[in-house]
Structure formats: C-alpha cells, structure tokens
Amino acid sequence: MLIKNIAIIALIALTTGCSNTDALEMQVTSLSNKVDKLTIEMSKLIDQQDKNNIAMAQLKMSNKKTNQRIDNVAASYKK
C-alpha cells in the first residue's frame, strides 16, 4: 500500500512538473532577452566611461599647462 501511494505521488509530481514546460521556456527566453539587453547597456556604459576618462585626462593635462603658464607669467613679473 505504501509503495502504491509513493508511486502515485511520484507519477503526479512527474506529470505536473512536465506539463508547464511552455511557460518555463517563455520565462527562460524572457530572462535571456533581458540579460542580452543588460549586456548591451553595460557595454555602452563602459564605452562612455572610457570616453569620460580620456576627456578627464585631457582636462587635467590642459589644466596643468595653464597653471605652468600662469606660474611663468607670475615669475616674469617678479624679475
């Protein structure tokens, strides 16, 4: 009797688990699409960050040159 009940429960669990594969496949497809979108957005953000880093480096270099010119002008007035 116990083996029969276990077999019935196993059969019910097996059929219930397999009957929902279409919905599960749709969810997996949806999640895959979302991951793809996030990957693309992440790539764009990394590219933008690289551009920002280059621009910051250029600004720092320009700032350094400007400060040197100001120091040279100030030094020439002291002479």
For 24-74, write each residue's pLDDT tens digit: 889 999 999 999 999 999 999 999 999 999 999 999 999 999 999 888 887
In a domain, 5, yes or no: no
Whole-model pTM: value is 0.57
Q: Scanning the structure block, which residue is given the tokens 């999640």? A: 31
Q: Which domain holds residue 70?
A: 30-79
How many domains in the chain? Answer: 1
| 75 residue type, one letter | A
Backbone angles phi, psi at 20, to 5 degrees: -105, 25
In a domain, 1, yes or no: no
Q: Where are the alpha helices (DSSP H) in the chain?
A: 2-18, 21-78
Q: What is the spatial distance between Cα 35 and Cα 42, in angstroms, rounded to a whole number?
A: 10
In a domain, 57, yes or no: yes
In a domain, 19, yes or no: no
In a domain, 12, yes or no: no
In a domain, 51, yes or no: yes
